[in-house]
Amino acid sequence: MGDIQKKIKLTPRQYRFVELWLDPTNKKTFANTYQAGLEAGFSKSYAKVLTSDAVNLDWVKEAKKQLAVYEPEHIYRGFQDVATSAKQDRDKLKALELMGKARGMFIDRVQSQVEVKFVNDVPRPELEKKEVIDVD
């Protein structure tokens, strides 16, 4: 992730914010702009600005483009965002459906009866009769 700081000229604090904000292993700051802003060292007032305008800040948009490697947790959080903020009910339902599928809630189960017949016809040399040859 260090290359991104050079590519889009982030300050150390901005870099830390992006790192915290997009890290799915950090439950406290992942996808939480306010908390990531505070942890990165921004003031409370600027963290609030990040919360309301994060998508509109050029450096944040560019950082997201550069880091567009989405882990499963990123995708799941995206579904959560749509499920809670979509204006159309069908969009909410689709997001909820995809969240359920991601967690394995809608697995089709089919009951099958399988009959297996085992035949042991592998030759075993140690059980075969050994021929004795008399040499006289």
27 shares its domain with 10: yes
In 3-state terms, what secondary structure has residue 50? helix
- For 105, the token pair is 């809630």
pLDDT in tens, 86-132: 889 999 999 999 999 888 888 877 888 888 888 887 777 776 666 66
100 shares its domain with 64: no
List CB contacts of 84: < 8 A, sequence separation 6 or more. Answer: 92
* Confidence band of 134 (pLDDT split at 50, 70, 90): low
Domain with 88, as residue range(s), is 74-109
Overall domain count for the chain: 2
Number of Cβ within a 10 Å radius of residue 21: 25
Give yes or no for residue 72 having a pLDDT over 60. yes
Give the Cα separation of 97 and 105 in Å (integer): 9
18 shares its domain with 64: yes
Tell me the pTM: 0.48
Higher pLDDT, 8 or 76: 76
Give the Cα separation of 9 and 19 in Å (integer): 14
